[in-house]
A and B are shown apart, each in its own frame.
Chain A
Amino acid sequence: AQKVTQAQTEISVVEKEDVTLDCVYETRDTTYYLFWYKQPPSGELVFLIRRNSFDEQNEISGRYSWNFQKSTSSFNFTITASQVVDSAVYFCALSEMMGANFGNEKLTFGTGTRLTIIP
């Protein structure tokens, strides 16, 4: 069975500090996708990034960066120079490929990390 662990339940940092959110996953699949979603106080789930299991290149998007290490089954998310608007709950998720060619993107979510940026 697939499992996503976000050990950090809550993190608080002062604005402009860097912060890393940890994500460890378990799967028996050789092909899978990893995701990060943001859930701001308004409640919607906002897609941040998708990474497939064949691509271990790290990615940077503005202040956001992701470090995927297949050897340790981790997909960590770093926010550089944090801002108050980054305050949200962040979810890491893993997709289970339930069959070929039919968009079977059932996601298994971690329990989320509540990030609070203190002004």
Chain B
Amino acid sequence: DSGVTQTPKHLITATGQRVTLRCSPRSGDLSVYWYQQSLDQGLQFLIQYYNGEERAKGNILERFSAQQFPDLHSELNLSSLELGDSALYFCASSPGFSTGELFFGEGSRLTVL
């Protein structure tokens, strides 16, 4: 158990809909990262937050947005969903001291029909 909690574990929705994925980092970790794992793109970095502020952006679509709240949990919002958004979305956290290690949650599997 990494200590990172993601909900929901599974989500099935239709094209055009909007969903929110939630992540609670390990206790004390200040950084939260979102990754997308799809069959054709592999594991792709989406976005990072550190102590509530956006720190880095990767291959995140404009239809996607994220935020980190004062209690350090984070949400990834996916809107106008397309079939190609079906993927496993991972959240990871780190202490924020350049330890070089990310602790991953179990992922949220999104299926868009």
* Residues of chain A whose beta carbon lies under 8 Å from any beta carbon of chain B: 33, 35, 37, 42-47, 50, 52, 91, 95, 97-98, 100-112
Contacts and interface: CB of A to CB of B under 8 A. Distances in A.
A103 B88 contact: no
Could you say which of B35, B56, B94, B102 has the most chain A C-beta atoms within 10 Å of its C-beta?
Answer: B102
16 contacts: A42-B106, A43-B88, A43-B107, A44-B106, A50-B100, A101-B98, A102-B50, A102-B98, A103-B97, A105-B94, A105-B98, A107-B35, A107-B43, A107-B102, A109-B43, A111-B42
Interface residues of B, number: 31
What does DSSP make chain B's interface, helix, strand, loop or mixed? strand
B103 interface: yes
Contact of A47 (B88, B101, B106, B109): B101
Contacts of A104: 31, 48, 50, 55-56, 98
- Tell me which of B95, B99, B104 has the highest count of chain A C-beta atoms within 10 A of its own C-beta: B104
A95 B101 CA distance: 9
B75 to A, nearest CB: 20
Contact of B103 (A47, A102, A110, A112): A47
A58 B104 CA distance: 25
Which 4 pairs, one residue from A and one from B, show the smallest C-beta to C-beta distance? A103-B96, A33-B100, A109-B43, A45-B104
